[in-house]
Amino acid sequence: MNFQFSKWTVLPAAVLLLGTVAVGQDTTSTGSSTQGTTTTAPAPKPTIAQRKENQQDRIANGVQSGQLTAGETSKLETKEAAINGETRADRAANGGKLTAAEKQQINQQQNQVSKQIYNDKHNANTVKYGNSKVGQRQENQQDRIAQGIKSGQLTAGETAKLENQQKGINQQVKADRAANGGKLTAGEKKQVNKEQNAASKNIYNKKHNANTQQPKK
């Protein structure tokens, strides 16, 4: 009688203990799973300034890699300059701030530019400067412009003008080569170098003037 009482008394206690351990394991497992999937807070949306800086970095990378031609860059930066001008006007009209509707509008415009940046960087148009002195000079100018974009020394409007200038030089070189079996005459090289000297001074002046890309929240 004592044996049966001990047996049926201990058994529920053992079952209860096992159940407690199992529940503890499920809780731990669930907690671990939750920690891995839901405790990470969603990344905050980038501010207007962060979005602008990101676009400029993408353009600068495209310029430096040769994925963006001078003409493509000029068009992209013209669009960026227009957005920046609109942002400044909106802020000026609202005590330095943007309304929710204005932020939405600017974000939509930046979305369009973002797609254009991607398309231009992944189309068939690329820049190959070659190892000639003219080619090396072209690449050097583009690298200086790209550095100015990344550092914020060049505004979008300044970059558009500089790249438009480079576009004109590049088109001239291309036309001269086509007319001379792929080569440039001594006179053409001298002319291109003179134009690049002027462009070089222009790059320097725009990178060292008072105009900079100053992000605002």
Predicted pLDDT of residue 29: 40
Predicted pLDDT of residue 38: 59
Residue 105 lies in a domain: yes
Residue 58 lies in a domain: yes
Give the distance from CA 194 to its chain's centroid: 33
Predicted pLDDT of residue 131: 87
Cα–Cα distances in Å, from 112 out to 55, 76, 106, 212?
11, 10, 10, 24
Residue 55 lies in a domain: yes
Predicted pLDDT of residue 31: 45
Residue 15 lies in a domain: no
Residue 103 lies in a domain: yes
Residue 16 lies in a domain: no
Residue 42 lies in a domain: no
- The answer, as to whether pTM is greater than 0.85, is no
Residue 177 one-letter amino acid: R
Alpha-carbon distance 47 to 53, whole Å?
A: 10
Predicted pLDDT of residue 130: 85
From first to last of its 217 residues, the chain has per-residue pLDDT tens of 454 545 444 445 444 444 544 444 444 344 444 455 556 777 778 899 999 999 999 999 999 999 999 999 999 999 999 999 999 999 999 999 999 999 999 999 999 999 999 999 999 999 988 889 999 999 999 999 999 999 999 999 999 999 999 999 999 999 999 999 999 999 999 999 999 999 999 999 999 999 888 654 4
Predicted pLDDT of residue 46: 85
Domain span holding position 125: 48-207
The total of other beta-carbon atoms located within 10 Å of residue 52's CB is 22
Alpha-carbon distance 48 to 107, whole Å?
A: 7
Tell whether the torsion through CA atoms of 98, 101, 104 and 106 is positive or negative.
negative
What is the total count of domains within the chain? 1
Residue 61 lies in a domain: yes
> 56: buried, middle or exposed (CB in 10 Å: 19+, 13-18, 0-12)?
buried
Predicted pLDDT of residue 215: 55
